[in-house]
A and B are shown apart, each in its own frame.
Chain A
Amino acid sequence: MVEAVRELAGGRGVTRVVHGFTVATNAFLEGRTAAVGMVTQEGLEDVLSIARQTRIRLYTLRPEPARRLVAPERVRGIAARVGADGKEVAPLDPDDARAALETLLQAGAEAVVVALLHSARHPDLERRVVKALGGAPVPVVASHSVTAEPREYERWATAVVSAGLAPVVEGYLLALEEELAADDFRVMLSNGGMASAAEAASRPVGTILSGPAAGVVGARVVARAAGFDRLVTLDMGGTSCDVAVVPGEIERTTEADLDGVPLRLPMVDIHTVGSGGGSIARVDAAGALTVGPESAGAVPGPACYGSGGERPTVTDAHLVLGHLHPDLFLGGRRRLDVAAARRSIRSLAAPLGASLEETAGAILELARSHLERAVRRVTLERGHDPSDSTLVAFGGAGGLHAATLARALGGGRVLVPRAAGVLSALGCLAADARLDFARTLLEPAEAWPPERLEEAFEELEAEAGKALDRERVPPGRRTTVRSLAMRYRGQAYETDVAWRADAAPVEAFHRHHRERYGYARPEAPAEIVAVRVAAVGTTAAPALPEHAPAAAGRPDRRAIGLRRGESVEVAAWEWAALPVGHASDEPAVVFGDHATAVVPPGWAWRVTRHGDLVLEARS
């Protein structure tokens, strides 16, 4: 990779590198993390392992528990404890804490998390334990310093994942930084921002979903250039599909999960669906067609890859219907075997009593239906309506499904970026520096009049300012974004409400609740769960390259299959040959280096000056 960067720089010094990476994600998913030990409350040593005491699958006689994050021999309880009000229940005996540490070290702990109750609101005891463990030969981290989450299991889990990733991420980033010797080396974060390597390494869990986050940032840059603001982004690859709702600004959540493990840091709000080009189609025991969740992945891959896969996949269905070109897939980098695809789909057509084309069409409709269900749920959970958004479809397979999906969601506009396969890279370049700060309050809103809130915000902003100093963000580019996490008393989920100087927070919360959930309870008492400040160092939007077709291209004609075995003749374009400004009411298929787009009948489409495709429903 370092070679490639040097080559890109063409012998000049490398000035600025923003790196998005999946090292943390892969290490986590494959369990290649440091052995973490945990100093926690006596009597509650198993809390992390019990998790929420629920099974993952409801209907099974062999229920599976949650994933275990810490080996039982690496957990030790101490008696010191505070109550919910912060008052001491049992005093700290530093010897007790040191003895716990000693046991953990003997059990092979390579990092230690201090995980005590109520520390989000009352962090003092965790701090004192960390202090008592000063001089430990391994890193010692307090759970409250990783996340402000006010639920013990979720906070402790996040902190344990972070501590386990620390050596992996730190080692990787610091080595890379040194080798690259760039003037300015930055790392993409899961919150859609970026930070210095040192800052990222200090809270490694903050990088774990940075790849998909960069994709959303990139999609927003492209969509803005095309004049669209309210978006649903759809990043569809071989095995999964990432969906995000962007109602103008990028939204963040503190409720993300990865592989069933809660990661409670502000992250770009992305929902992953196990549906992609590799999803396998089959006929089930009662004779119905099903698609997924099983996936052929990249290996063996769809039947048409000719890499040993024989089972029919969504990609095979696209190929059978002519949505993909056997010689032009990924710019011709991979040749597809049409005969193998037909063979695989035919194996289903017979038991279904349908033609080859009908079967392929039904597979695509079912794949689309799974996506529709996921997108609806995601948008509803976030209080939005998908029908008034532009669907930005990227990843290798996004453009194949986008128009039919948009129509099913009641929407009428789709954007397929030309750089559909490399939007993450664009997102890295466009990302602002962004660091999040929070203080947990968990108090009635009326206990926090404006002056008091102002003080709390200013404290966080002072911290934020120091961080921006460390990040060397020039004064002219700094902003801070204030918000309050609020809920009605009794509710367990808080919601982030943007802070406004001209509106009382409680009023803003009622309004927000009504918009998002359809009702408000002005008579009910509200709580402030946390005060949040995001420190932002803005980055100038990168200039998008102009689309310059090699030669005035002409389309071929090509028959493609649609639902129910109907076939229609369409214009078949190579993306590189599309003239800027080209507009058409005619159905089409566009083959590009990174992606393929299908324009079904009933849609008008045009080519922007950046070479992106805008599709608009005609009725």
Chain B
Amino acid sequence: MSLPLDLGVFRDLFVALTEEMGVVLQRTAHSPNVVERRDYSCALYGADGTTIAMGDHMPVHLGSMPLSVAAARGAMELQPADVAILNDPSAGGTHLPDLTLVQGVWLEGDETPAFWLANRAHHADVGGRTAGSMPLTGDVYEEGVVLPPVRLMRGGSRVEPTWRHLLANVRTPEERSGDLAAQLASLATGERRLRALVDRYGKGRIEAMGQALVDYAARLVRGLLAGIPDGAYHFEDVLDDDGRGARDVAIRVTVEIDGETARVDFGGTDPAVEGPLNANPAIVRSAVFYVVRALLEEDAPANDGVLAPFVIEVPEGSLLRPGWGRPVAAGNVETSQRIVDALLGALAGAIPDRIPGASQGTMNNLAFGGLKDDGHPFTYYETVAGGAGGHPDGPGASGLHTHMTNSLNSPIEALERALPVRVRRYAYRRGSGGAGRRPGGDGLVREIEALSPLEGTILSDRRRRGPWGLAGGVAGAPGANWRLRGERAEELPGKAEFRLEVGDRLVVETPGGGGWGEPEAE
């Protein structure tokens, strides 16, 4: 057996397994958020919880799912054909709508699982104060139902009290039930494939190659770090506000490169906030993971080796390690983007010719709900793309999801058919990209009209300051949110709960990307 010759084959096998889990999840799920927007991830772990492989799904899930597996393992003695479910942000979760399922895979004769499988899907509603479960609240209990790791399935059968409890606490139980069925079907597919692999290659070989791939990813990353000049690089970036009074919430980071290793220290980051911007170390890991993979020229496998050369420090009580009880809805989707911006800003000090201007730096999370014609409640969630930063090698792209998300839009026809809304505008926000030798890309404008009364929440950022430029490039235009009522336009804050009466329109203008390099004279 020769490692360099065989790595590629096993990498294919493991990635194929997670891809197949994803195929089944997407093809069988029920909610537009999973099916159309593909807001889910699937992964395979070793006996000790080491990530062996993860499908190319959602970057923001990458570094955080292993903590879900660890939490499920720590909370209970899972048995064969048991499946745990969780979303608790203090026990391996990120924000409440992300429901993660975890199961072990026992091989013949083993007392404990030889492997773990997990998948995570963003559910459009998990209860709480507002439809879509992303309220602008100061309290995690208002964000929805909190699930510490509990059994969803026992010995292959549904644990009815868990199901009944969960489904009684959400606004759209039928859809939740459909999406959970799809997550279970995906796990079953993963288990089947894994058993076939073990039959074909033997458990020892699969385990050894899993570890070899982790080592290989670590080697790739060490090579990357070795190419970055040694030194400590500091950067500070801010979130506009927490929606509840705190302004300019700062994330401070020092990236210290030392040969083939790096220390990433978030010391000095602002304390936890009252509003739902709080993140956690799982999200921080995901952001570091993303930046490393995006910098690598080689396509590194998504496993724990990627972070092996890193030490990550996150201070207690900070925005990034807030402790129990703080609301977290936007930590995963907004704060995660700013963590990436801070990391890239720091690295621009080390490798300025490889770092682009800041991209939109927000996901523009829009959640709303109301009653359909037939009186049934509905909930809906979407994110809106924006401008990418200008890059030393070329201009930034317009109207594209960047960094920690890559979720699709919902077709306008699907949206209008399913919900009492009309999409009036979905267009480039021309001129919003920052000027530069390589200009930033333009943001988007999305305008949605209510055909029946709606209540909702928008969680967005970069509304007060646009995404920064680099090397003399100009910042992109900040985003803006508006409610149009008749002739009157009312600007909404970046984080807002809103109500739309019939005929009102919500307008989301997303930020342009920052420019790179001095703009050339006309």
A interface vs B, CB < 8 Å? 43-47, 49-50, 52-55, 58-65, 83-84, 89, 117-118, 120, 150-154, 283-291, 352-354, 358-359, 362, 365-366, 369-370, 372-373, 376-377, 380-381, 410, 442, 488, 490-493, 517-519, 521, 524
Contacts and interface: CB of A to CB of B under 8 A. Distances in A.
Contacts of A58: 56, 59, 406
A153 to B, nearest CB: 6
Interface centre among B9, B13, B298 (most CB of A within 10 A): B9
A63 B402 contact: yes
A351 B468 CA distance: 43
Given A54-B406, A54-B407, A517-B27, 19 more contacts: A46-B428, A53-B401, A54-B385, A55-B397, A55-B401, A59-B290, A59-B299, A63-B388, A65-B400, A117-B413, A120-B413, A288-B3, A352-B2, A354-B5, A372-B16, A380-B20, A517-B28, A518-B188, A521-B181
Contact of B406 (A47, A55, A153, A366): A55
A180 B424 CA distance: 52
Nearest to B449: A89
Interface stretch (B31-39, B275-283, B474-482, B493-501): B31-39
B23 interface: yes
A289 B107 CA distance: 31
Contacts of A47: 412, 426
A354 B417 CA distance: 60
A359 B406 contact: no
Given A366-B8, A369-B12, A381-B23, A63 B397 contact: yes
Nearest to B297: A285
Contact of B7 (A52, A154, A289, A442): A289
A332 to B, nearest CB: 33
Interface string B1-45: 011111111001101100110011001111110011000000000
Going nearest first, the 8 A-B pairs with the smallest beta carbon separation are: A362-B5, A53-B385, A43-B425, A286-B219, A151-B411, A490-B30, A84-B417, A373-B16
A537 B174 CA distance: 44
Nearest to A283: B4
Interface string B291-310: 00111111100000000000
Interface in B339-383: 344, 354-356
A366 B7 CA distance: 9
B391 interface: yes
B52 interface: no
Given A46-B428, A359-B5, A518 B185 contact: yes
B31 A490 contact: yes
Contacts, number: 206
A49 B402 CA distance: 17
A50 B444 contact: yes
Contacts of B216: 286, 288
A413 to B, nearest CB: 19
A358 B5 contact: yes
Contact of B391 (A50, A61, A287, A377): A61
Contacts of B3: 288
Contacts of B8: 288-291, 366, 369
A524 to B, nearest CB: 7
A116 to B, nearest CB: 10
A358 B2 contact: yes
A289 B425 contact: no
A47 B2 CA distance: 50
Contacts of B399: 46, 49-50, 53, 65
A44 B425 contact: yes
A61 B426 CA distance: 25
A348 B181 CA distance: 47
B32 A285 contact: no
B427 A44 contact: yes
A324 to B, nearest CB: 21
B31 A288 contact: no
B133 interface: no
Interface centre among A151, A291, A373, A377 (most CB of B within 10 A): A373
Contact of B408 (A53, A118, A358): A53
A65 B384 CA distance: 15
Contact of A55 (B31, B35, B196, B402): B402
A358 to B, nearest CB: 7
A50 B409 contact: yes
A404 to B, nearest CB: 12
Nearest to A373: B16
B426 A373 contact: no
A415 B416 CA distance: 50
Nearest to A291: B8
Contact of A286 (B298, B401, B411, B422): B298
Contact of B356 (A53, A61, A151, A285): A61
A365 B12 CA distance: 11
Given A55-B400, A285-B223, A490-B31, A151 B9 contact: no
A233 B425 CA distance: 45
B393 interface: yes
B3 to A, nearest CB: 8
Given A61-B354, A62-B393, A373-B16, A352 B5 contact: yes
